[in-house]
Structure 1
Amino acid sequence: MHSVLPEIEKVCSLLVQKKMIFRKDDQVGIVLFGTKDTDNTLTREVGGYKHVVILRNTKVVDGDFVKALQKLPRGTTDGDFLDAIIVGMDMLIRKFGRTKKRDKRLCLITNAQCPIKEALEGTKEKQVTTITKKLTARGMKMESIVFRGKLSQKANKGVMEENDRLLNIFSKETSTRLLYVENPVSLFGALRTRNINLVTVFRGDLEFTPNLSIKVWVYKKSGREKSPIVKRYSDKAPPNYKRVTHEVKIDYGYKSSEDPDRVVPPDQRIKGYGPQIVPISSAEWDAVKFKPEKGVKLFGFTDSSNVYRHHYMKDAYVFLPERGNTRAMVAVSALARAMKEMDKVAILRCVWTKGLKKVTIGVLTPNLSEKEHIPDSFYFNVLPFAEDVREFQFPSFSNFPASRQPNGKQLKAAANLIKKLDLAPHGQQEVLLPDFTPNPVSERFYRYLELKSKNPDVAVPSVDDTLKKITELDTHLLLQNKSVINSFCRSFDLKGNPMKKCRRLLGGKRSSSNDEEVKENISAEPANLIENASVKVEKIEDLTPAQDFVALIFDKDSSDWVVKAINEMKSKIFDLVEDPHKGDNYPKALEYLLLLRKSCILEQKSKQFNGFLKHICYFCQEKSLHSFCQYIASKDLTLISTTEAVDSDVTDEEARSFFVKPEPIVE
């Protein structure tokens, strides 16, 4: 246990630091067991309880507690956690009496590897049952955190099994947590540094029909942890005033525009709307407000496969049957098990409180309990409305040519790499469990806050070594799987893509040597297009068509603007080809064609470009404008092939041979 005491010191001192911020009136006591000395009240009064020390009696948290927890004494004997629990109970009873009014909690941190003394009367199990009854009678709760880590050869498995059995009795009889952690990271997350009381967001009927409903209570299952807010502090009050809060309050005053010195009282104020400030009375505001009725109603059932996990939004909720209502428990259990058996989920409409303007639509998923004393329940997740869902269409990998498809050896190497670097390997415990992984940003913030309270000029501390295991790459894991990583690298021959285009190419900012080798005869593109793209453009003008085209492509989020830009650029090119001015317009038409070609590759509109280029060539043949086709063929302008864009249906050979005419056969 000595090897993990530094981590226990960190997490316990952090617990007290947070209490000094969020629950500064909380009272805390510290009991150590397995120590060389003995110092507790029960030993002095009744005897026994050896090697148990009260390090700090119960009192309001302060900086002394933090100092005491940052340097805990090391023990030399086996520790009996039952003696420590009884001493802790005695401390709370002496301090707060036998009342249930206060929230009293015991937190036991142990490795549970030391033997427990035999009971004076009865068995150890009966002794633990007696203790749990006294805990419940006095309104005390207890959670146990067992830190095992890697077991040594000296560890007695029989003793550990017995201790686990005793701790399970505590957990079952008092309905409290029993957690097993194997590393310092899990220890940081296991000890709840902030105790958040559960509050129902809804109590009422889960309505299926006007004549059928179930009484339920709804709690938040998870919530987003917000970063602490540093409030303003006022030092204007005299230091000897004890009841001063030192808070800064802001009041707003409204003055008349006609008489700036007159303050308008609240009953004479009225809201305005629009630039003309149209006055709207409170009665009119109330008339147009949406006022849904409070309640939870069923829309219907659907297959679970119809609701996608990535559509879940915001926080999760849990639906429980009304406490003490047996009929509600039976009804919820029957419904949950039927939905689970049929693989169904329910769609609900929820208005949590009266007067709430927002209606929540979500999915109800059954959650079957594995413990006898915990009833079945439901999980509820908020779903987006159709307007909130963004559908991104991506081409399938199967559209790539065979030469760009991975072979069996490469797929096997990639699968092996993923398997070895997986943080949740099959058959093993996940490395970073969500319930036991702390937020490294907030943990570092509280550490810095504690240091700054002592020295205002202190620098921001470095990330703790334990937290680095969350934020940084595990070098041991990489070294352990070095052969797998090398095998993956050898399976792939990495080389530059000569046909790769990036958006900045449109601005002439970058040029690829491979592009020049492939199409060295293509003229340079217009420069400074990206800089001009920041100007708001609604259509392509005659003065700066290239810049306007780029602005339409990149400034608009909607795909409709992309289609509009492509169609308008087609019209500009077609006008230049139709009126060539003895070939003077050909270079400009080629410049626009190159710009259109690259944009269609980026926006996955290759079929539109290929169709347009074919249309121009057919038009030139009909109007005897063969010189334009010969001109663009001499510049190596081709159709967009499948090598350049996955959405194209033109092969490389078809793209290269598009402008090549068959030689006439001479008889």
Structure 2
Amino acid sequence: MSKDAIIGSSMWNNPPEEDIKYLDKALKAYSVMIQQKLMDARKSDQLALILTGTNETDNDLAEDSSSYQNIVVAKEFQSIDMSFIRYINDPNLELGNQEADCIDAIVVATDMLIKKTKGKKFTRKIYLLTDANGPVNMDGFTDIVGEMKALEIQLTVIGFGFHTEEELETMESLEQEMSRCQQSQLAMYKLVKEVDGQVLPINEALQILSHFRSKTVRQVTTFRGNLSIGKSIQIPIFMYTQSTQRTLPTAKKGSAISMQSEEIKDKTMEVLRNTSYFTKDEASDVVEKEQLVKAYRYGKTLVPFNESEEKAMSLETSKGLEIIGFVPVTEIDRESFMGSTYAVTCHPEIVEAQVSLSSFIHAMFEKDACAIARYVRHDNASPKLVCLMPHIKAEKECLIMNILPFSEDVRRFTFPGLPKEEMTAEQSNAFDEWMGSMDLMTAARDEDGDPMELFKPRDTYNVAYQAVYQAIQERVLHPDKPLKELDEELIKHISPLESKKAAESAFTLHNLYKLEMVEKEEAPAARIFASNDFEELEKSLEGVRPGDVTEKSLADSISAEISSVGTADPIGDFNSMINNRKRDLVSKAIKEMSEMIIKIVNESFGDQMYAKACECVVALRKGSVQEQEWEEFNNYLGKLKSSFKGSKRRDGFWQVIKAKEISLISSIECGSSSISPEEKSKFLEDEIETAAPVEEAKDEQEDDDMVDLFIDDDHGDHPFCVCYLLGLE
């Protein structure tokens, strides 16, 4: 938690050599500081704003003293939000042009911190933005320093037009005449030195503030337990998150009605979410949350589980970190690491734990080994497979833990090999030179001009995060204006480095390999897997010898094209056929689906398969509407009614059709249909005799659907069909 006070002093005197007014720079620095705090602040962090040099006076200390004049507490301590930026950017805000003592402003800020935080654990900071052009009263200087040290207040002075401390101290030692501004600046240097603060010139401060900073996160343990080595060794450990992905802020849903309304005061735009559940069959029936159960898919079926069954199916585990074994570090593939990285340390208050863990870490380091362990964060949590690597630095020793994948987590891809062509020595040297010209280990320069590493992970920030907050701030201040382009500092961090040497090396590679753009050829149409003509299939196999057979899976062969409706997945086969854009299989699909429905109903044991047959009727009707085949479907539905309604064995199927209200296709669904909506609604009740009844199928053994694809009525079973199934083309 932190309490920060920002003191802004009106800076009207601007040296002629400065292109930008001090006040404009101060406002920019203030806005960037607020933006950084909005990005990084925790909910408990608070901020206050104090203005000096104002025409009015408004602070607690001025009420009992003639000092502390022209100082206004613009904002008391409160949570950090966009109101701070709105306040300072208000065009009607009067900053004033009076003189004020900056030391008095620091005392006012210190008094506010005492009243707000005394006896509480807070980080206290004061930021003073000033040109030190006002008077400075050094009375009580020692008391001020003592109070600030007692509260451990961190003071940062951002100076405008400040001389260096060495220059001012030299002038003082030589007893040279100093202007009031120089005297004030020297007083600031003395105060900062006494309280271990810092003075930053405004240009340096803006440069520091414009650099990206990672969010300061409070150090919190994610796991406290024992590291188990065998059954006899238990080392108390603490675990902390070392690195984890920081996600971009998510947008909340707001009310556009509230935003546009002029009658609502103190608009929050917040909306309340109310979720209701309805049954899929009856949309009007509301299902209460207490009546919901979890269900898992098993094929196309939802299998429900209540709470007790859900608990029974969960794996019972115990909290802990248990060593399974050790492997050489070289056997661990870093590309397999999953999720966040954790640091495992010993219990800070148990000396035995510190000695034990340190010995364990050094032993692993000397053996160049890492440990494989089973990690369970809390009781009944899913176990994870992790690796523990020794990490030894001068300031700390710990184990670095990364999560390893299980077999189900790994995706094993195979890729075709590259063509094996010999590379000339000239080409090899050109590649070496090109890669060397882009070496990041020497791409940057330090203060002395020596080469240094560029894009270190700890110094490389996600510019997208700061760009989001920059856009949000712009929208708050200017809701009706288009967003500005990204700041130059952001663009610089996301732009590739310009290297003349790398460009020359790339040009050399281009000339050596004669690289040209190759247009991608369109892939030929896939060969139709199953031919209805046996002779055509036999011709395609001419000249094929048994030794030429290659391995080819059945699934790969079938996936070429669906050409008939089978019993395994009739709906999927039917939809694939009517959506086929290479061949017109609509009529065939409708005919075979119609026959398949009759077959399913007649071979059903009681009403066991009625639901599946009914789903097929629905799919057939939907496809008929899609393909404008309304007449064929209507005739077929009439046959179903004539055959099954009132039947001793299969009347139950017609009752299912009736319950689902599957009726004729009317002119509303297909414009060319001759069936009116009234005829459609009466169909399920009226008797019709126009269609001949469907004969019930005789009880015959069902042939395998896959074999049927290869059997011709004239030729019977043919061995070549089986060969093709195994992979002949």
Which of the five TM-score ranges fits, normalised by the shorter chain?
0.5 to 0.7
Q: 1:463 aligns with which of 482, 486, 493?
A: 486
Which SS does the other structure have where 2:345 is aligned?
Answer: strand
Which residue of 264, 283, 305 maps to 2:330?
305
Matches of 1:157 and 1:536, distance apart in 2:
89
In the superposition, relative to structure 1, how do residues 364 and 428 fare at CA in structure 2: closer, same or farther (>3 Å)? same
Task: Check the 8 A contact 1:314/1:382 in 2, yes or no.
Answer: yes
User: Counterpart of 1:92 in structure 2: which amino acid?
Assistant: L
Structure 1 Cα separation of the partners of residues 367 and 25 of structure 2: 48
Partners of 1:449 and 1:291 in 2: how far apart? 46
| Residues 1:221 and 2:245 are matched in the alignment | no
Match of 1:106 among 119, 125, 142: 125
Q: 1:291 to 1:229 in 2, by over 3 A?
A: same
Partner of 1:134: 151
Change in Cα spacing, 1:336 to 1:542, as seen in structure 2 (3 Å) is farther
Contact 1:206 1:216 in 2 (8 A): yes
Aligned ranges 1:523-602 → 2 under 5 Å: 528-529=522-523, 532=525
Q: Where do 1:191-210 residues align within 5 Å?
A: 196-210=217-231
Contact 1:317 1:379 survives alignment (8 Å): yes
* Residue number among 48, 63, 66 corresponding to 1:29 in the alignment: 48
* 8 A Cα contact 1:256 1:264, kept in partner: no
How far residue 366 of structure 1 moved from its aligned partner, in angstroms, is 1.9
What SS does structure 1 have at the residue aligned with 2:400?
strand
User: Does 2:290 align with 1:271?
Assistant: no
Seen in structure 2, the aligned counterparts of structure 1 residues 252 and 384 have a Cα distance that, compared at 3 Å, is: same
Aligned counterparts, 1:183-582, within 5 A: 187-189=209-211, 196-234=217-255, 246-255=270-279, 261=285, 263=287, 266-267=290-291, 269=293, 271=295, 273-274=297-298, 275-370=300-395, 376-386=397-407, 388=410, 390=412, 400-402=422-424, 405-407=427-429, 411-412=432-433, 414-416=435-437, 418=439, 422-423=443-444, 430=453, 432=455, 434-473=457-496, 478=498, 482=500, 484-485=501-502, 488=505, 492=509, 494=511, 497=514, 505=520, 507=521, 528-529=522-523, 532=525
| Maintained 8 Å contact 1:440/1:467 | yes
1:470: how far off?
0.9
Aligned-pair CA distance for 1:365 = 3.4
Q: How far did 1:428 drift?
A: 5.0
Cα distance between partner residues in 1 of 2:96 and 2:422: 65
Give the aligned residue type for 2:314: K
SS at match of 1:401: coil
> Who wins on radius of gyration, i.e. which is larger?
2
Query: What's the CA shift string for 1:357-391, capped at 9, x where partnerless?
Result: 35242333324352xxxx53332222233551657
* Structural mapping, 1:631-646, within 5 Å: none
User: Hey, what does 1:90 align to over in structure 2?
Assistant: 111
- Three-state SS of the structure 2 residue aligned to 1:529 is coil
Taking a change above 3 Å as real, the CA distance of residues 423 and 230 of structure 1, as seen in their structure-2 partners, is same
Counterpart Cα distance in 2 of 1:462 and 1:330: 56
Any stretches of 5+ residues in structure 2 without a counterpart?
1-17, 131-135, 170-185, 538-550, 558-729
User: SS at the partner of 2:29?
Assistant: helix
Is the 1:39–1:53 Cα contact (8 Å) retained in structure 2? yes
Q: How far apart in 1 are the matches of 2:433 and 2:370?
A: 37
Q: Which letter maps to 1:90?
A: D
Shift of 1:51: 12
* TM value normalised by structure 1: 0.54
Q: Residues 188, 363 of structure 1: CA spacing in aligned structure 2 closer, same or farther, 3 A cutoff?
A: farther
Aligned AA for 2:227?
L
User: Does structure 1 conserve the Cα–Cα contact (< 8 Å) formed by 2:57 and 2:71?
Assistant: yes
Shift of 1:214: 1.8
Quick one: distance in 2 between partners of 1:428 and 1:182?
23
CA contact (8 A) 2:227 2:234 kept: yes
Give, as a single letter, the amino acid of the residue that structure 2 aligns with 1:134. Answer: L
Aligned partner of residue 219 in structure 1, secondary structure: strand
My pick for the range that moved more, 264-273 or 39-48, is 39-48
Distance, in Å, in 2 between the alignment partners of 1:320 and 1:455 is 49
Identity of aligned residues (%): 18
State the alpha-carbon separation in 1 of the partners of residues 383 and 455 from structure 2: 36
CA distance in 1, matches of 2:75, 2:220: 32
Q: Which runs of 5 or more structure 1 residues have no equivalent in the other structure? A: 136-141, 172-177, 508-527, 545-559, 567-667
> In structure 2, do the counterparts of structure 1 residues 99 and 336 end up closer, same or farther at CA, with 3 Å as the change threshold?
same
- Between the two proteins, the alignment pairs up a number of residues equal to 487
> Residue 523 of structure 1 corresponds to which residue in structure 2?
none
Conserved in 2, the CA contact under 8 Å of 1:189 and 1:435? no
- 1:65 aligned counterpart, secondary structure: helix
SS in 2 for 1:293: coil
Contact 1:363 1:382 in 2 (8 A): no
Describe the SS at the equivalent of 2:234: strand
Structure 1 residue 145: deviation in Å?
A: 8.1
- Equivalent in the alignment of 1:584: none
CA distance in 2, matches of 1:304, 1:157: 57
Q: CA deviation at 1:467?
A: 1.1
Contact 2:338–2:405 (8 Å) recurs in 1:
yes
Residues 198-229 of structure 1, C-alpha deviation per residue, up to 9 Å, x if partnerless? 43221111222222122222222222222222
Deviation at 1:91, TM superposition (A): 1.9
Question: 1-side partners of 2:210 and 2:343: how far apart?
Answer: 26
1:271: Cα distance to partner? 3.2
- 3-state DSSP of counterpart to 2:243: coil
Spell out the pairing of 1:600-615 with structure 2 (5 A cutoff).
Answer: none
Deviation for aligned residue 1:561: 7.8
Q: AA paired with 1:247?
A: V
Instruction: Say if 1:328 and 1:120 are closer, same or farther in 2 by CA, change over 3 A.
Output: farther
Q: Is the CA contact (8 Å cut-off) linking 1:11 and 1:191 kept in structure 2?
A: no
Change in Cα spacing, 1:368 to 1:249, as seen in structure 2 (3 Å) is same
Q: Deviations over 1:393-443 (max 9, x none)?
A: 797999633366423x77446524536972588955655554455433232
Deviates more, 1:285-294 or 1:458-467: 285-294
Aligned letter for 1:402? T
Q: Supply the AA of the counterpart residue of 1:306.
A: E
Other-structure match for 1:641:
none
Residues 115-154 of structure 1 mapped to structure 2, 5 A cutoff? 131=148, 134-135=151-152
Write the deviation string for residues 30-75 of structure 1: whole angstroms up to 9, x where unpaired: 468999x999877997999999996654345455521466699999
Paired letter, 2:488: D
TM-score normalised by the chain length of structure 2: 0.51
**Structure 2 CA distance, aligned partners of 1:262 and 1:121?**
73
CA contact (8 A) 2:155 2:195 kept: no
Retained in 2: the 8 A contact 1:311–1:383?
Answer: yes
SS at match of 1:318: strand
1:135-174 mapped onto 2 (5 Å cutoff): 135=152, 156=166
Question: What is the one-letter code of the residue matched to 2:375?
Answer: C
Q: Distance in 1 between matches of 2:303 and 2:556?
A: 40
Tell me the distance in 2 between the aligned counterparts of 1:256 and 1:417. Answer: 60
Partners of 2:40 and 2:107 lie apart in 1 by: 24
| SS of residue in 2 equivalent to 1:406 | helix
Distance 2:232 2:304 in 1: 46
CA separation of 1:40 and 1:345: change in aligned 2, threshold 3 A: farther
Distance 1:396 1:5 in 2: 59
**Contact 1:219–1:317 (CA under 8 A) maintained in structure 2:** yes
Partner of 2:681: none
Amino acid of the structure 2 residue aligned with 1:452: R
What's the RMSD between the two structures over aligned residues? Answer: 6.1
The question of whether the paired residues in 2 share the 8 Å contact of 1:185 and 1:436 is answered with: no
- 1:488-528 deviation digits (Å, cap 9, x = unpaired): 36755616648x895x54x3xxxxxxxxxxxxxxxxxxxx4
